């Protein structure tokens, strides 16, 4: 399946149905009074996270979503039916953003979360609601209100506990395959990985965590060079980071290491401050072990520990895994992205759709009170 992590959509919730203007015309009650029912509420458009999904592919092919309108009211005190909500499913980890300001509207991390993207309009009141002692035959009713219409941007941030960074062809996919159940396609050429791979790693004490290999970074990635922003953003979710350096290349490994660290800082200062587990990979290749040892000594002067590993043979990977688990144990829970989306203490119940439910319940109560008061008179 193609990995799609961004999409822009246009949504239009359903309009409320208009109230009816009608009067009773029974045989023995020729002037029986108003009987126009209320219009039904328009349908909401709701996002729901589904753990079985891993991509926003569906939204790339269909970008326009319109929900049904509420039914009009009818005579004989019959209310129109409310329209059924339009449900759109997305993977956990989806952000909803304003496409113009970039403001985060919702951060849907967990499975089964529901969020109302656009609220349906209220149904209009029928003329039976407007009868009074001085206006016994109202010949008007309320129109329904319009449903919300918005343009929104969806962005998927992978929910991996541990992310791996490094230059292209550093061996990230091979290491994921070695440590986890994932079986990514692997070949020996730059930019092998064009799609992030997630693997579940089973630790020796029975715990498990999700490991992601992100496509190789290059200098200028924070400005969008190469695969740039497309994949750096996924690191913001990770609680631990493995920085993989390719020791098989006859290059300045320290310069490579600093270049990637610089890209992380320029993209997001908080990401750059995150603790990194450094590993020199491919020590099974001739002369690579010597380069890795020299690299380890240079970083030791900066009090940075380097693990010497081979993703191909498995050498050193158990010690690397132990270091990753220690970092996960010490890591804080990931913060919300871009802004604090938690409800304020004085905001009351702000669950998606809750305010709309309260308003509609209040409408129903007010209608009942009007009718009760009219019957008493």
- Global model pTM greater than 0.75: no
Span between the terminal Cα atoms of the chain, in Å: 67
**Most confident of the following: 8-17, 105-114, 226-235, 326-335:** 8-17
CA neighbor of 321 nearest in space, from 242, 236, 245, 247: 242
pLDDT for 132-149, tens place per residue? 888 888 999 999 999 999
> Which residue is associated with the tokens 């020299």?
294
* Nearest CA-CA partner of 4 in 56, 53, 52: 56
CA atoms 176, 178, 179, 183: torsion sign:
positive
Q: Residues 189, 180, 197, CA angle at the centre, nearest 5°?
A: 50
Token output for 175? 């290491």
Instruction: Identify the bridge partners of residue 154 per DSSP, sorted by sequence position.
Output: 7, 96
Between CA 154 and CA 159, with CA 155 as vertex, the angle to 5 degrees is 135
| Residues 119 and 356 sit within 8 Å (Cβ to Cβ) | yes
The maximal CA–CA distance of the chain, rounded, in angstroms, is 105
Does residue 340 or residue 128 have the better pLDDT? 128
What crossing angle do the helices spanning 288-300 and 253-267 adopt, rounded to 10°? 60
What pLDDT score does 270 carry? 79
pLDDT tops 70 at residue 178: yes
From 189-193, 195-199, 228-232, 368-372, the region with the lowest mean pLDDT: 189-193
**pLDDT reading at 363 higher than 90:** no
Supply the DSSP symbol for 92: T
Q: Does the pLDDT value for residue 355 go beyond 70?
A: no
Say if residues 267 and 284 touch (Cβ distance below 8 Å): no
Cβ contacts of residue 241 below 8 Å, gap of 6+? 162, 163, 164, 165, 235, 274, 275, 276, 277
Q: Whole-angstrom Cα distance, residue 110 to residue 289? A: 42
Q: What is the pLDDT of residues 282-341, one digit of tens each?
A: 999 989 999 999 999 999 999 999 999 998 899 999 999 999 999 888 876 555 544 434
Percent of the chain with pLDDT over 90: 39
Q: What CA–CA distance (Å, rounded) separates 359 from 133?
A: 28
Backbone angles phi, psi at 72, to 5 degrees: -65, 155
Residue 353 has pLDDT above 90, yes or no: no
- Which is it for the CA torsion 246, 252, 256, 257, positive or negative? positive
């Amino acid at each position: 399946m193609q990995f799609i992590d961004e999409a822009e959509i246009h949504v239009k919730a359903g309009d409320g149905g208009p109230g009816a203007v009608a009067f009773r015309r029974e045989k023995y009650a020729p002037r029986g009074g108003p009987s126009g029912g209320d219009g039904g509420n328009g349908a909401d458009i709701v996002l729901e996270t589904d753990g079985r999904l891993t991509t926003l592919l569906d939204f790339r092919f269909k970008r326009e979503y319109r929900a049904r309108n509420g039914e009009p009211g009818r005579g004989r005190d019959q209310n129109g039916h409310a329209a059924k909500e339009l449900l759109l499913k997305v993977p956990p980890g989806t952000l909803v953003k304003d496409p113009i300001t970039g403001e985060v509207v919702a951060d849907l991390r967990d499975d089964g979360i529901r969020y109302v993207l656009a609220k349906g309009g209220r149904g209009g009141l029928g003329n039976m609601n407007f009868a009074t002692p001085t206006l016994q035959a109202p010949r008007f009713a309320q129109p329904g209100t319009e449903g919300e219409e918005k343009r929104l941007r969806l962005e998927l941030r992978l929910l991996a506990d541990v992310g791996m960074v490094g230059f292209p062809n550093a061996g990230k996919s091979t290491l994921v395959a070695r440590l986890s159940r994932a079986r990514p396609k692997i070949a020996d050429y730059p930019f092998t990985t064009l799609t992030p791979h997630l693997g579940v790693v089973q630790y020796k004490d029975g715990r498990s965590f999700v490991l992601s290999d992100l496509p190789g970074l290059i200098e200028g990635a924070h400005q969008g060079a190469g695969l740039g922003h497309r994949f750096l953003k996924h690191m913001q979710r990770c609680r631990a980071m493995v920085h993989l350096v390719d020791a098989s290349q006859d290059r300045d490994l320290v310069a490579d290491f600093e270049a990637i660290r610089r890209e992380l800082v320029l993209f997001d200062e908080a990401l750059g401050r995150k603790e990194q587990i450094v590993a020199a990979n491919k020590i099974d290749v001739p002369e690579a072990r010597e380069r890795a040892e020299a690299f380890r000594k240079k970083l030791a002067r900066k009090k940075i520990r380097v693990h010497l590993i081979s993703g191909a043979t498995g050498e050193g990977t158990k010690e690397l895994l132990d270091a990753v688990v220690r970092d996960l144990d010490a890591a804080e829970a990931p913060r919300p992205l871009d802004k604090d989306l938690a409800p304020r203490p004085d905001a009351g119940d702000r669950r998606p759709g809750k305010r709309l439910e309260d308003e509609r319940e209040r409408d129903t109560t007010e209608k009942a009170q009007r009718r009760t008061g009219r019957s008493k008179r």
